[in-house]
Amino acid sequence: MARNTKTGKTERINRQPKKEKDSIEMTGVVTDKLPDTRFKVKLDNMKKPDGTEVVIIGHISGRMRKNYIRILPGDHVVVEISPYDTSKGRIIFRDTKPIQAKDLNRGEENIAAEDA
């Protein structure tokens, strides 16, 4: 809020729109529960150059916390990772079943092929 010098009224300042997300969304499985609503998440389809699994520390997003969404070890989650620190992330979605690639890319061609 800012005061207009001509009229003396308080007006809202128009902020510039937020930039596009600079984050990476990955799917993974919760392996361990840690203190302070943090979890160890093993990322799907990601391996280090030496062949070991990639495990990051994820915390619950504010919206999930607000709606009391519980996360347990074994749940499949979507994690938003910052490109600046790839060892930490924010859990933004929980699903008890794995998210299949075919469910994400269901086009009209796939539906027509299933009906035939």
Query: What confidence tens digit (pLDDT) does each residue in 47-56 have?
Result: 888 989 999 9
List the structure tokens of 97.
């079943």
Domains of the chain: 24-94 (2.40.50.140)
pLDDT at 107 over 60: no
Whole-structure pTM value:
0.65
Query: What confidence tens digit (pLDDT) does each residue in 45-84 have?
Result: 888 889 899 999 999 999 999 999 999 999 999 999 988 9
CA distance 70 to 32: 14
Close Cβ partners of 10 (under 8 Å, ≥ 6 residues apart):
1, 2, 3, 4
